[in-house]
Amino acid sequence: MKLLVIGGVAAGTKVAAKYKRVMPEAEVTIVTKGRDISYAGCGLPYYIGEVIEGKDQLIVNTPARFAALTGVLVQTEREVTGLDSHEKKAIARNLRTGAEEIYEYDACVIATGASSVVPPLEGVRLPGVFTMRTPEDAIETRDYLKEHQVKKAVVAGGGFIGLEVAENLLAQGISVTVMDMAPQIMPGFDREMADYAKRHLEKKGIRVLTSTKLEGITGSQKAEGVKTDKGFLPAELVILSIGIRPNTGFCQEAGVEMFKGTILVDDKMRTNLPDVYAAGDCAMVTNRMTGERQWSPMGSSANMEGRTLALALGGEDVSYPGVLGTGVVKLPGLNGGRTGLTEEAARAAGYDVETVLAVTDDKAHYYPDASFFATKLIADRKTRRLLGIQVLGPGAVDKMTDIGVMAVTFGGTLDQMTSLDLAYAPPFSTAIHPFVTAVQILKNKLDGVMESFTPAEYMDGAAADYRIIDVNPAGPTIPGVTYVDLNKVQGEMPQQGFFGMGKEEKLLLVCAKGKRAYLLQNRLKHYGYTNTKVLEGSSFFNIIRTGNAAEKVTVSPEDITRVKALGCLHNKGTNNFNVRVITRNGKVTAEENRCIADAAALYGNGDVVMTTRLTMEIVGVPYERIEDLRDFLAGAGLETGGTGSKVRPVVACKGTTCQYGQLDSYSLSEKIHERFYHGYYEVKLPHKFKIAVGGCPNNCVKPDLNDFGIVGQRIPTYNIDSCRGCAKCQVADICPMGAAQVTDGKLVIDEEKCNNCGRCIGKCPFHAADEGTYGYKVYIGGRWGKRTAHGQALDRIFTSEEEVLSVLEKAILLFREQGNTGERFADTVSRIGFEKVQEQLLGDEILARKEEIVGASLHLKGGATC
């Protein structure tokens, strides 16, 4: 038996290795176009992010190692150009020699996989533009990042690989924009789940643009930006992750039946040609629930298809049942998993669909690092069979998804799953497993025990004529609506209704996650209220809209405090606010400027002002339009904020665009913004923590009047032997500090006076001052305002940017751990003592305790009032 396998990544190597084990005497040959076989395609984004350190780790098996392990003959760098099913032979071109080669077979498996789609657009072949399909793609991308010190990147494509690449670029301190032509990211998830993920990514600092078409890439020698139908995006690196296309060009003339480039196979992986099979990303199988054709190019299904095919070729009566569309993705601080049918697909398949969105704890709430699952279940009303599950959360969403896989695979019904005996211990789960809890909530909904609106229905305006009732456990949380304390709803309510609500009035009950809203509904039903709805996921999952421009609401002190935390400052005596737009360092792109101007015209009074911190403010925004404004800005990747007891947006001078500039202060401040404003956004500090970056000792942005200041330096190196003792010394004349003097015929530098401005370098005609080292001076404990304090400079001048960023992180951690609530960093430094603070900042001990410090219950209130 001669088995020829065309292609050698996942399905190809799997079918070859397994068949050789089933039929050891068989002659098995792999012919593959590439030099590598069996590589970790799904691990490529993590190589870019240096989670996978070595390029060798991307290669699961080399051709030689695979051949020795399995007994399979591996022929690399051979491209199959034709297939003759009558003569049972494949024609290939040797890519090393150009010679034509013939491979005869008794059975042939096409496992050629797929390649990245590269659209025929301007600039797609420029340096700096990459796809993400092979190890070479990831290796070249990582090398390019380092060589060119990339600061801005655009990822075209919001699928799993594109989003994982974006996460890993962000972790490298790169400003990332993800764009997609589709109206949502994360295909295979329903739109409300994708919308939540989009909002999460934007909070983490990844700009997400949907319904945005790629039109080209600009640049002369390398990529410099991306043209879209919505405008221009600056970018030094572009990742094209807009889809893949099956590698089946040679199959058309061979008579293989195909659909949109994929090879159609049956449950034995057979094509329409005799003794010709296909598996993996080039093959189209079926959906095991609907029986309809489905293309599911995943490494997991490719391996299972390969194994099934090998067993079938070996004579076993096996078949491949099809795919469920199972997938899992890792995002920054959020994971997503899915399997089965989406709500839309289930309706299209003819099911009578009911869904629920349940927000639950992912483990015992009291256990450290406990968080949440946002779980969407899709079921059939008639049979109560589970049809699909989608899960978001920072933890083990794969566990939830895999339970769903088992339930869907074996036709499980909700009633069968309400008491599943799943594993429980506080570090792993809740006493009633979160999967079971979600099932029970959906069962309550189907049984009429709970009446609710889904997030999708709420997004579509189903609750437009409902009065919102706030049932949050922490007191009034939703601005401008009636608050009801659940604990006080006891006994029969007065005839006129509770809190003025008629018993027939339409009431939308909203709490933190949904549980208390359900409890209130249960009580209100008992007391005769007939028109209540619970909002599934409540304020945790949904953006709660409390009115429109025509409706005026009274803004309570609590509401003013709440929106202040979002960067919205109250104009006293009005219902209007100034809304701060975070611009990283005072620099905005032309596209961002247009968006801010449009937002000011649409939602404010048309004015945009600058604060002293180089933050833009949109003036005169009515309270009831704040959320609409924030949504509008988020569409362009902009955010509001910059208030509260936390790391504040950094300010910077013009840096190297100034004649005195010693460092690229814009670049450094953008890294600080991503690493510390975004990275520490959820970390409460004793008070505000302000950072300034000055490009030179002129101190235009007053680094020494900030909690942490960085000043660009150029430290002169003097060659006194070259000094001629000139009567008119060029070095002394240029020194603005009077630190350089000629004394007794030689140049003398007063180091106490020298501020390392570097202006003297290169000014001596006899080369006494030709050299200089670029560096950073760091000030701590400065403060401007009612009690002005000048910061003190650390003793060291740093020559590494990473050293400065490390010291900055240590300063933030020290302030969080050792500062008292309500005091500024200047007070902390004064109380502890500068020398002791400096000792900690120059050591490594405090950084080693980062997780402990960040996770501690400190400064729950904080001292900042603006």
Angle ∠(75,76,82) on CA atoms, nearest 5:
80
Strands 353-361 and 372-380: antiparallel
SS3 of 348, please? Answer: helix
- Tokens, residue 629: 């404004």
Q: How far apart are CA 426 and CA 407, in angstroms?
A: 24
Length of the chain counted residue by residue: 866
Enumerate residues 6+ apart whose C-beta is below 8 A from 375: 357, 358, 359, 360, 389, 390, 391, 400, 434, 435, 438
- Tokens, residue 640: 């509001």
Phi and psi (nearest 5°) for 477?
-125, -35
Answer for the pair 382, 352: CB distance below 8 angstroms, yes or no: yes
Catalytic entry in 42, 700, 726, 754 = 42
Residue type, 175: S
For the chain, helix (H) and strand (E) counts, in that order, are 25, 46
Strand partners, 37: 61
CA atoms within 13 A on the CB side of 621: 32
Strand partners, 614: none
The residue whose two tokens read 């933030």 is 812
Residue type, 262: T
SS3 of 592, please? Answer: helix
DSSP 463-504: TTTSEEEE--TTS--STTSEE--GGG--SPPPTT-GGG--TT
Answer for the pair 389, 375: CB distance below 8 angstroms, yes or no: yes
Q: How far apart are CA 787 and CA 853, in angstroms?
A: 28
CB neighbourhood size of 844 (10 A): 9
The residue whose two tokens read 């924030």 is 630
Answer for the pair 645, 615: CB distance below 8 angstroms, yes or no: no
Nearest alpha carbon to residue 287 among 168, 408, 134: 408
Q: How far apart are CA 3 and CA 12, in angstroms?
A: 11
726 is catalytic: no
For residue 162, the Cα-to-chain-centroid distance in whole angstroms is 10
Alpha-carbon torsion 48, 52, 56, 58, what sign? negative
Q: How far apart are CA 36 and CA 318, in angstroms?
A: 30
Residue type, 385: R
Q: How far apart are CA 814 and CA 821, in angstroms?
A: 13
The residue whose two tokens read 């655009």 is 154
Q: How far apart are CA 135 and CA 142, in angstroms?
A: 11
**DSSP assigned state of 315:** T
Nearest alpha carbon to residue 774 among 718, 731, 711, 722: 711
Residue type, 277: Y
Answer for the pair 567, 642: CB distance below 8 angstroms, yes or no: yes
Q: Which residues are catalytic?
A: 42
